Structure 1
């Protein structure tokens, strides 16, 4: 068997596996930042993290963070760090609200993921029930979906971050909320996410998982975490959904 034949067989098998995954899905749960858009494409996450750190320092709370946490480019690292030291406190609620406001500012410069808008509309048109299950604020998601004319495809099923950070993915809480609200059995649903935390949440909820990776680094992270199905474009997913119409 030649290498070309082997490659062809592998691609054919992957396409078949993806088709089965898509065909079986009656309910689709999307992560937000990644599969639907790059939220911080223009309003960088690193800048948001710096602003949260600066606010803490302005409150005389510099000592709450380690040096590594103070310079980390992910604002969620700052939020998690404060929550570990002051769980369920007013301070965490205030910091979470400040992060939400920064996310909402980022919506105006967010970059839609290629092919996701027609994918969402087509899936909705063929009768699939859609939800967002995310660690971002539901208000951020609502702003973005409304701006893209997509809110009606999901309404009212947007489940996101609250000040109870222990319930963020990899905890399956937001997935379970979506499943319960839609009356969906986990085996009839599909989670589309771009991070190992999405995969872990899907596994714990009993939901099949499709990884989306915009670059090879993301793909390796998902595969190393155990993801069986990973795509670098939503175009093949869109084509398979269109075949169902």
Structure 2
């Protein structure tokens, strides 16, 4: 199987990365990306199609545009319905359906290279860890249990609710994590793989480290303004181990 790490030659300077790591007493991870690929085998496109079919069975396919009906991201479908039927029972039903599909995907999720040892090492050297994700918190907790990582995070796992306006780039989940950890924003670090993670970190006043598993991800993060981006968590792990 091909590796997901695509070397881009743009890793942060070692000394700079060490400084970023050294300042981080609290670390908040995005889930799908920095910790694992949730839909590695359980196709996100099929999940999106399942949500569209549920709407069709209820005679509500017209809530979506043609583009939204074929969108490969289930979150795009959920957001589209929420814009037209905010806080409705329909949004609740679709969100629960998505959560069910995410939980099924946990079984075949692929760990991000170096993520498991990084999490364990960072926790062991005294950092407090949390997760702020647009996925269901139940999904993240289920995955962590399969990897034996629950104790590194619990109970600080904050995810999607039916109030979809609280999803990143809104900093709601990130701020909840900071409050639970008792962390001043400047002493924390957000690790994410999308521009929405970056924007949430900026709005919360939290330093940001981007993880980009391929050139496309890196390009999106760079264009959004991310200064520190790694294409592998291996140099992050080395920097954390240097503190032990």
Q: TM-score, normalising length from structure 1?
A: 0.95
Task: Return the structure number with greater helix share.
Answer: 1
For 2:43 and 2:31, the matched residues in 1 are separated by 16
What do residues 50-104 of structure 1 show as CA deviations (whole Å, max 9, x unaligned)?
0000000001101000000000000001000000000011110110000000000
* Larger Rg over CA atoms: 1
Q: CA deviation at 1:14?
A: 1.5
Residue 211 of structure 1 is matched in structure 2 by: 210
For 1:165 and 1:213, the matched residues in 2 are separated by 25
Supply the RMSD in Å over aligned alpha carbons. 1.1
Residue 34 of structure 1 is matched in structure 2 by: 33
Residue 86 of structure 2 is matched in structure 1 by: 87
For 1:13 and 1:185, the matched residues in 2 are separated by 24
What do residues 100-158 of structure 1 show as CA deviations (whole Å, max 9, x unaligned)?
00000000000000000000000000010000000000000010000100011001000
Residue 98 of structure 2 is matched in structure 1 by: 99
8 A Cα contact 2:10 2:230, kept in partner? no
Q: How many pairs were matched up?
A: 236
Residue 237 of structure 2 is matched in structure 1 by: 238
Residue 170 of structure 1 is matched in structure 2 by: 169
Residue 17 of structure 2 is matched in structure 1 by: 18
Give the direction of change, closer, same or farther, for the CA distance of 1:13–1:155 in structure 2 (3 Å limit). closer
Segments of structure 2 that go 5 or more residues without pairing to the other structure are 1-8
Using CA pairs under 8 Å that are at least 6 residues apart, name the structure with larger relative contact order, 1 or 2.
Answer: 2
The structure 1 segments of at least 4 consecutive aligned residues displaced by more than 2 Å after TM superposition are 10-13
Segments of structure 1 that go 5 or more residues without pairing to the other structure are 1-9
